[in-house]
Structure 1
Amino acid sequence: MATTPLDRARVARTALKLLNETGLDGLSLRAIAKELDVKAPALYWHFKDKQALLDEMATEMLRRMNEELLAGAEPDADWRTALTAAMRGLRRHLLMYRDGAKVYSGTHFTDLSYAAPMEAHLRTLTGGGFTPGGAARAWLTAYSYTIGHVIEEQSMGPDPARAEGGYDLAARAERLAAYPLAAAAGHEMFRDYDAGFEKGLAAVVAGIGATMLET
């Protein structure tokens, strides 16, 4: 049996390690317990169910990315540059984990790790002319775009566990032969996710500036 004390942080770190091997669907408390060399019921002292574990996993992911989220978030920094850099950092960290965006999305953080980067970026946005409410909406809009993009990217892109090359565009085009524009759209939607993310993020940031910034 394990001799290192079992705590929430250790369980979450182990779960994140297994996530890259099994994906979210294959991640179970039983598998985590086996990796930790403990009995599965021992985990229930720390997590009442899998969702509670996912909350802690997401919080651990946030702790690891905090330094990058805070980079450039200065009150006198250009808000467009700071917001763009933060969303790039968020995407990069989510892509470090298989199904990382699904784990991160919709969870409840278990401590205040989110508060410092949120405060810093809201301060940058308000310093750039946004009202407090507008700054919050601007942050949420860019954040939601990034989370959604990575969920789709990880769902439709190459699966490292199966060594597949991603969405089969040839098969898709064949199915959509009667719809040439929809068929051709596949190359834009399901290839070069880096470029696609950058184009979308630029549009989101420009839209935020056009519709949410006080003038």
Structure 2
Amino acid sequence: MTDAAADSPATPPPSPWERERPARAHAAPARTPLSRHRVVEAAFTVLDRQGLDGLSMRQVAAELDVTVSALYAHVSSKDDLLELMYTRLFDGFEIPAADPDRWQEQLLDFARASRRRLLSHRDMARISMGHVPFTAELLPHVEGLLAIFRTAGLPDRIAAEAGDLISTYIDGFVLEEGMWQDRAAQQGSASSPSRPDWREMAGEMQNYFASLPEADFPHLRALSGLMVTDSSDERFDIGLQIILRGLASYLPDRTDSTAPDDTGPRN
């Protein structure tokens, strides 16, 4: 070793902040345990995005990033899942105690609330039409609805059919709205998807009806100015008025059997 080398200072080791440190390992976030609630929520997400025809157990599993077999620890089949989704719509929904002096208002409130719930998710009317509400969770709602009919004084035969009549009307009306929603989405319409603006087509349809040969279509021509003039909310309430007035005609005492004139839109 030369004297120069001996006199040279030793190279210091690298300082701590100069060392090449291994990347800090990031702990994987803990997975939220799979549950029936999460499966149903994922199913609603898929339903809103793809519709009932696109809803499958495989799609729900993909939404949750799990295998399809993992779902079967919480739901037994797609039909079971659809029933759970239908039941979920009624969470927090209560029918008030029957009041014979307000039975028609109570039915209006019930029908409007039911429509809002069906409109809250795509294709729920189709799911509703395929499931009867006679599960343990939904029987109290059926009982409450029948109580309104019977407390009002409707004959038992009419009361037994009235609930199904109103439910079928609600399902059918919302099903139609869903069809217009899909059509509006396909055509890029500016209308609210869940509540099509019937006025967009009113002028065209009214002009068409008015142009029909009077000899063949006298009634369509006469009513052309009144056809397709109302919003979905107004049309829904007018239909309810027709049903309620029909039910009221079966009351033993018809001195106050006219349905309440409360047909304003409901949000």
Name the residue aligned to 1:213: 251
Deviations 1:125-171 (A, max 9, x none): 21111234322212221111111111111112466755434688488
Gaps of 5+ in 1: none
- Which structure would you say has the larger RCO, counting Cα contacts within 8 Å and 6 or more residues apart? 1
Closer/same/farther in 2, CA of residues 148 and 129 from structure 1, 3 Å limit: same
CA RMSD of aligned residues (A): 3.3
What is the aligned counterpart of 1:196 among 226, 230, 235?
235
What is the aligned counterpart of 2:157 among 110, 116, 133?
133
Is the CA contact (8 Å cut-off) linking 2:206 and 2:225 kept in structure 1?
no
TM-score (norm 1): 0.79
* 2:228 counterpart SS class: helix
Rounded to whole Å, the distance in 1 between the matches of 2:51 and 2:86 is 14
* 1:148 counterpart SS class: helix
| Larger radius of gyration between Structure 1 and Structure 2 | 2
Q: CA deviation at 1:104?
A: 1.8
Is the CA contact (8 Å cut-off) linking 2:47 and 2:55 kept in structure 1?
yes
Gaps of 5+ in 2: 1-28, 254-267
Closer/same/farther in 2, CA of residues 173 and 111 from structure 1, 3 Å limit: same
Name the residue aligned to 2:12: none
Is the CA contact (8 Å cut-off) linking 1:126 and 1:132 kept in structure 2?
yes
Is the CA contact (8 Å cut-off) linking 1:76 and 1:127 kept in structure 2?
yes
Is the CA contact (8 Å cut-off) linking 1:75 and 1:120 kept in structure 2?
no
Q: Which has the higher helix share?
A: 1
* 1:199 counterpart SS class: helix
Is the CA contact (8 Å cut-off) linking 2:133 and 2:139 kept in structure 1?
no
Closer/same/farther in 2, CA of residues 137 and 16 from structure 1, 3 Å limit: same
Rounded to whole Å, the distance in 2 between the matches of 1:204 and 1:133 is 16
Is the CA contact (8 Å cut-off) linking 1:79 and 1:125 kept in structure 2?
yes
1:97 has 2:136 as partner: no
TM-score (norm 2): 0.65
Name the residue aligned to 2:84: 56
